[in-house]
């Protein structure tokens, strides 16, 4: 996707990266989109999870690809919240993690919405916390900047682009049922997942 933006095949890209050298940052404004989910409902805290994944074989915390924003953020948050503990992390692509979680092969993972809500509503996972909660414990600020919007360098955006974008996001919280169903179908998720994940 980054390459496609650089090559001019995309106009805009929303990504967790905070810098794309060949592109122009439009804004960073989306907060708290990811959650830490666990399969074992008896795990109630990050400390519980740390004990579980250090003592149980195959109980890694699965993160997106190595070097991704979520990978870097979660490792740093765990280092701050649980200094000296030996949590085990592994990396794999998001769709693979979702499939393996549903098959009972993943004990814990950090996933962006709507994946955590999909797993919760299907009964495969419990949301241990949103990443924004972990940030608040570390920094005293619940906002976790995870998505920046970048534009191709040559793209001329309308002067009121950001106000239009804000208006569109606001409208998404007051959708008619037919609009909700159409968006859920386009995203290949259920309307129930969309409604719960959207806030």
pLDDT tens-digit profile, the chain (199 residues)? 888 998 889 999 988 887 888 899 999 876 668 999 999 999 999 888 888 876 665 578 999 989 888 899 899 999 999 888 778 899 999 999 999 999 999 999 999 999 999 999 999 999 999 988 898 999 887 766 568 899 998 899 999 999 999 998 888 888 899 999 999 999 899 999 998 888 7
Name beta bridge partners: 147: 30
What pTM does this model have?
A: 0.82
Q: b/e per residue, 99-127, with b = 16+ CB within 10 A?
A: eebeeeebbbbbbbbbbbbbbbbeebbbe
126/124 Cα distance (integer angstroms): 7
Q: b/e per residue, 133-153, with b = 16+ CB within 10 A?
A: bbbbeeeeeeebebbbbbbbe
Residues 6+ apart with CB under 8 A from 84: none
Q: Do strands 126-130 and 34-38 pair parallel, antiparallel, or not at all (unpaired)? A: antiparallel
Beginning with the edge strand found earlier in the chain, give each strand of the sheet holding 89-91 in spatial order: 89-91, 61-63, 108-112, 34-38, 126-130
180/36 Cα distance (integer angstroms): 26
What is the pLDDT, as a whole number, of residue 86?
77
60/123 Cα distance (integer angstroms): 20
96/42 Cα distance (integer angstroms): 25
């Amino acid at each position: 996707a980054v390459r496609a933006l650089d090559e001019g095949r995309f106009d805009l890209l929303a990504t967790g990266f905070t810098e794309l050298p060949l592109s122009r940052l439009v804004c960073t404004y989306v907060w708290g989109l990811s959650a830490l989910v666990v399969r074992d409902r008896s795990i109630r805290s990050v400390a519980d999870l740390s004990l579980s994944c250090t003592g149980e074989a195959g109980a890694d915390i699965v993160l997106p690809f190595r070097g991704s924003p979520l990978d870097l953020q979660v490792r740093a948050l765990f280092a701050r919240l649980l200094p000296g503990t030996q949590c085990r992390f592994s990396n794999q692509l998001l769709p693979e993690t979702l499939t393996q979680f549903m098959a009972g092969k993943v004990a814990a993972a950090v996933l962006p919405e709507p994946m955590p809500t999909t797993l919760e509503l299907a009964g495969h996972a419990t949301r241990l916390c949103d990443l924004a909660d972990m940030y608040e414990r570390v920094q005293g600020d619940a906002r976790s900047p995870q998505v920046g919007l970048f534009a191709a360098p040559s793209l001329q955006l309308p002067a009121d682009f950001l106000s239009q974008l804000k208006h569109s996001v606001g409208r998404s919280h007051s959708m008619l049922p037919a609009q909700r169903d159409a968006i859920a179908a386009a995203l290949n998720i259920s309307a129930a997942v969309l409604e719960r994940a959207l806030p």
